[in-house]
Amino acid sequence: MLNQQAESVIKIRELHKCYWVGTMPFPALYGINLEIEPGEFAVLAGRSGSGKSTLLNIVGALESTDSGRIEVLSQDILSMNQDQRTHFRLHNIGFIFQAYNLIRVFSARENVAYVCQLQGKSKKESMEIANHWLQEVEIGHLGYRRPDQLSGGQQQRVAVARALASNPKLILADEPTANLDSMTGRHLIHLMRELNQRLGTTFLISSHDPDVKQAASRLIKLADGQIVEAWNDIPKPPSSITSSCPMSNLPLTERLRNYFKEARGRARNAKCRKKTGRRS
Amino acid sequence: MAESDRLGLFTYLSLATRNLLRNRRRTLITLIFGIATLTLLSALNDGWLSQMKTNFILSYTGHLQIHAKGFETSQNLNDRIKDPEEVSRLMQSYPEIIGWTQRIRTSGLASVSGNSAGIQIMATDPEQETWVTSMDQGIKEGIWLRPGMSHDLLLGRTVAQNLGAELGDRVILMAQRLNGEMVSEVFFLRGVLETGAPQIDRTLAVITLNSAQQWLQMDQTVTDIVIRADVHDNTDVLYRLFVQQLSDLKYEIMPWQELDPMVRQWLEFSDAYGFVILFVVIILVLIEILNTMLISLHERQKELGVIVAIGTKRYQIFLMLLLEAVMLIFIGAILGYLAGSLIVYSVADNGINLTHFANAFEFFYMDPVIHPQLTQSSAIKILGTTLAAALLAGIYPAWKATRLPLSQALRIQ
């Protein structure tokens, strides 16, 4: 484990990520080290292209890395295959996207119930859970409407309900207020913060909305793929990474596999840095 | 991994149905039109082939013929059925037989006022023949053979024209007896007929069985026993029964397909042609489905990315999209087939008259009026092949969907 004392929700060490378009490298993340504790309402802030979404995608097991180590809920997500990642996301992570991304042909209730059905719950039970969460986000009376019959703010509330319906320990939100007017955005953030405090669910949000930053329990600023500043209202250091090997509890074969994977990643990073002339 | 991570069939069906209703109306209409056209084409083909088969069987050959062993190849009167009653007695026991007749067939020469032509003499029982073929209805001038009138003669239209023979003319026929002696006899032209097959009308001369037996000194022997079944499909049943009942050393039993290889080839060709049309339409349907699914996949990349992100497994995505393709084609095929059937039923009785477009229809057993016909086998062929095509066309886009790069899909605006 990266930290033996705290059961961190997210532990990241020396994370590197570089995109390639043909032979052109586009560096996205450089040596990210970060820990998110349970119950935090952490906000990743930074300009467009600073690496917020990439970091969020990696934490959400949607994207791979070039090198580095990452544990989410004490699970080494980089060593998982696609199906294991999908399973992990289904049971542990809720997602809120900038463009709501609801299933257009389903009603609000069916959208929320869908994740419960994916988890194997019966349709009836899933619908009950969906009703509960729609009421929690104050749109219980709109459950029968399809996304195109809802306003942006209402759709984002459905997305919040969907994210919470699978009972996740971590919610990742990518620019959740970007498509909303400021008043609706403020209401949504207030709602998310309230759910965070009441349920204890950890939130990691990428945003450059000042209202979101204000609501944060921790603000992590990213610039050019690096963490440049971290502000924390919880009295503990923003980053408390120890030097112990995070994967030391893995079997030898897994450790060897990870070792070679990292070596390949380091080589790619070196190539990437060489091409772009940057230093991490 | 929890085994409980599954989606109920209802959820798949619900998603597939709603996506179809949302996106695929135009494709569905195209499909319905395509399958309806295919059904009509297939019914026209089946109707045309069935009419052609009926015309062939009823014009001359019957469903089944029994000859003495080797006669069909030798065409020699010595290869004759010496005891036709032995065979005729069997006919009583099979309800599938609605008529039979005995015939003598041999080649000869016809002369009228200095003109002569090679002919194929067919001697038959005038009454029995009408139960087996519709040759009597093919009389274009004059009358059908009269029982007991031993000098009555009918000629095919072309041979009559070639000889310059008119009704009532004396026609001298020459043929060979069993012992090889050439003999001639005077007949009177009572009728000119058309069988529907030009090659028959060029040589056919019909006389009564009794007169031929006397003239050729064949006693009560015959060369053919011609049988008509109640329906075409019983030809095989009867064939098997006669093969079991009659000695294969004495008799050869030939179904209509073997009696005229050209007709059989023509029917096989027409069947193959029908398959080619079916194949082309299926390919078009396949391309249509593939195109729709790939466009849909492109349009829905983000949505698919999202549903994978929130926990839908890739095999579930595969099943969803495959089900969509199958449902799309299934609904299209059923509706299209119904629409096609409606068109077929509305024109089946009166038929489609193509006389004005092609005089060529008036030969080789073809009718200028085609009565489209829906058959069970064509329904199975159309629906089965279309569904198989849907599966094929659905597999690639569904597989492609499982390979969507998630992070890219989610970034699409």
Instruction: Say if A1 falls within a structural domain.
Output: no
Instruction: Say if B259 falls within a structural domain.
Output: no
Q: Say which residue the tokens 């067919």 belong to.
A: B122
Instruction: Say if B62 falls within a structural domain.
Output: no
Instruction: Say if B258 falls within a structural domain.
Output: no
Radius of gyration, alpha carbons of chain B: 31
What does the pLDDT look like over A4-45, one tens digit per residue?
Answer: 445 889 999 999 998 887 778 888 898 899 999 999 999 999
Residue B113 identity:
S
**Nearest residue on chain B to A95, alpha-carbon basis:** B310
Instruction: Say if A31 falls within a structural domain.
Output: yes
Quote the domain boundaries for residue A19. Answer: 10-276
Predicted pLDDT of residue B413: 61
Q: Specify whether B206 is located in the same domain as B305.
A: no
Q: Specify whether B270 is located in the same domain as B340.
A: yes
Beta strands B352-353 and B152-156: pairing type? Answer: unpaired
Predicted pLDDT of residue B300: 82
Alpha helices by DSSP H, listed for A74-151, are: 82-92, 108-118, 123-136
Structure tokens at B87: 């065979």
Determine, for residues B11 and A117 on separate chains, whether the beta-carbon distance falls below 8 Å: yes
Chain B residues near residue A117 by CB distance under 8 angstroms: 7-8, 11
Quote the domain boundaries for residue B269. Answer: 9-56+264-411
**Among residues B216, B247, B278, which one ends one of the domains?**
B247
Q: Specify whether B310 is located in the same domain as B207.
A: no
**Among residues B202, B217, B247, which one ends one of the domains?**
B247
Q: Which of B21, B310, B402 to mutate to test the interface with A (most CBs of A within 10 A)?
A: B310
Q: Specify whether B112 is located in the same domain as B185.
A: yes
Instruction: Say if A32 falls within a structural domain.
Output: yes
Instruction: Say if A164 falls within a structural domain.
Output: yes
Determine, for residues A120 and B15 on separate chains, whether the beta-carbon distance falls below 8 Å: no
Q: Specify whether B182 is located in the same domain as B287.
A: no
Instruction: Say if A100 falls within a structural domain.
Output: yes
Cα pseudo-dihedral A73, A74, A79, A81, rounded to 10? -40
pLDDT above 50 for A2? no
> Is residue A44 within 8 Å of residue A56, measured between CB atoms?
yes
pLDDT above 90 for B110? yes
Give me the mean pLDDT over the B86-98 stretch.
85
Q: Specify whether B215 is located in the same domain as B300.
A: no
Q: Specify whether B235 is located in the same domain as B319.
A: no
pLDDT above 70 for B6? no
Q: Bigger pLDDT: B28 or B400?
A: B400
Chain B residues near residue A63 by CB distance under 8 angstroms: 406-407
Rounded to two decimals, the pTM is 0.67
Structure tokens at A84: 């294991």
Predicted pLDDT of residue B278: 76
Instruction: Say if B304 falls within a structural domain.
Output: yes
Q: Bigger pLDDT: B248 or A238?
A: B248
ipTM of the complex: 0.76
Mean pLDDT of chain B: 85
Beta-bridge partners for A126 = none
> Is residue B255 within 8 Å of residue B241, measured between CB atoms?
no
Instruction: Say if B257 falls within a structural domain.
Output: no
Instruction: Say if A3 falls within a structural domain.
Output: no
Give me the mean pLDDT over the B165-175 stretch.
93
Lowest mean pLDDT among B59-63, B152-156, B184-188: B59-63
Which residue among B7, B21, B406 places its CB closest to the CB of A118? B7
Structure tokens at B137: 């209805």
Instruction: Say if B254 falls within a structural domain.
Output: no
pLDDT above 50 for B312? yes
Does A187 touch chain B if contact means CB atoms closer than 8 Å? Answer: no
Contacts of A138 by beta carbon, 8 Å cutoff, 6+ apart: A157, A191
Contacts of B262 by beta carbon, 8 Å cutoff, 6+ apart: none
Instruction: Say if A236 falls within a structural domain.
Output: yes
Sheet holding A24-36, edge to edge: A24-36, A10-21, A67-72, A75-76
Determine, for residues B309 and A60 on separate chains, whether the beta-carbon distance falls below 8 Å: yes
What does the pLDDT look like over A204-243, one tens digit per residue?
Answer: 999 988 888 888 999 999 988 888 877 665 433 333 333 3
User: Positive or negative, the Cα torsion across A176, A178, A182, A183?
Assistant: negative
Q: Specify whether B378 is located in the same domain as B279.
A: yes
Those residues of chain B whose CB sits closer than 8 Å to some CB in chain A are 1-2, 4-8, 10-11, 15, 18-19, 21-22, 302-303, 306-314, 316, 406-407, 410-411, 413
Give me the mean pLDDT over the A76-99 stretch.
90
Which residue among B310, B407, B411 places its CB closest to the CB of A95? B310
If one counts every other C-beta atom within 10 angstroms of the C-beta of residue B330, the result is 16
Instruction: Say if B65 falls within a structural domain.
Output: no
Q: Specify whether B335 is located in the same domain as B406.
A: yes
Predicted pLDDT of residue A275: 64
Which residue among B5, B15, B22 places its CB closest to the CB of A90? B5
Percent of chain B at pLDDT > 90 equals: 29
Determine, for residues B311 and A90 on separate chains, whether the beta-carbon distance falls below 8 Å: yes
Predicted pLDDT of residue A3: 43
Give me the mean pLDDT over the B277-292 stretch.
78
Instruction: Say if B256 falls within a structural domain.
Output: no
Determine, for residues A82 and B314 on separate chains, whether the beta-carbon distance falls below 8 Å: yes
Determine, for residues A162 and B2 on separate chains, whether the beta-carbon distance falls below 8 Å: no
Q: Which of B20, B304, B410, B413 to mutate to test the interface with A (most CBs of A within 10 A)?
A: B410
Beta-bridge partners for B66 = B225, B253
DSSP states along B58-127? IIII-SEEEEETTHHHH--TTS-BS-HHHHHHHHTT-TTEEEEEEEEEEEEEEEETTEEEEEEEEEE-HH
Q: What are phi and psi of A179, to 5 degrees?
A: -95, 10
**Nearest residue on chain A to B308, alpha-carbon basis:** A86
Minimal CA separation from A52 to chain B, in Å: 13
Predicted pLDDT of residue A116: 92
Predicted pLDDT of residue A248: 42
Residue B398: pLDDT band with limits 50, 70, 90? confident
How many domains does one find in chain A? Answer: 1
Predicted pLDDT of residue A279: 47
Residue A181: pLDDT band with limits 50, 70, 90? confident
Determine, for residues A86 and B307 on separate chains, whether the beta-carbon distance falls below 8 Å: no
pLDDT above 50 for B411? yes
Predicted pLDDT of residue A243: 30
Does A80 touch chain B if contact means CB atoms closer than 8 Å? Answer: no
Q: Specify whether B163 is located in the same domain as B122.
A: yes
d(C-alpha A82, C-alpha A19), whole Å = 20
What does the pLDDT look like over B347-366, one tens digit per residue?
Answer: 888 888 777 665 655 556 77
Beta strands A10-21 and B170-176: pairing type? Answer: unpaired
Predicted pLDDT of residue A234: 40
Q: Specify whether B159 is located in the same domain as B215.
A: yes
What does the pLDDT look like over A124-166, one tens digit per residue?
Answer: 999 999 999 999 888 889 999 999 999 988 999 999 999 989 8
Q: Is B113 left (phi over 0), alpha (psi -120 to 50) or beta?
A: left
Which domain CATH number covers A31? 3.40.50.300
What does the pLDDT look like over A34-73, one tens digit per residue?
Answer: 999 999 999 999 888 888 989 999 999 988 888 899 999 9
Determine, for residues A97 and B311 on separate chains, whether the beta-carbon distance falls below 8 Å: no
Predicted pLDDT of residue A64: 86
**Nearest residue on chain B to A88, alpha-carbon basis:** B311
Which residue among B19, B302, B309 places its CB closest to the CB of A62? B309
How many domains does one find in chain B? Answer: 2
Q: Specify whether B40 is located in the same domain as B87.
A: no
Instruction: Say if A179 falls within a structural domain.
Output: yes
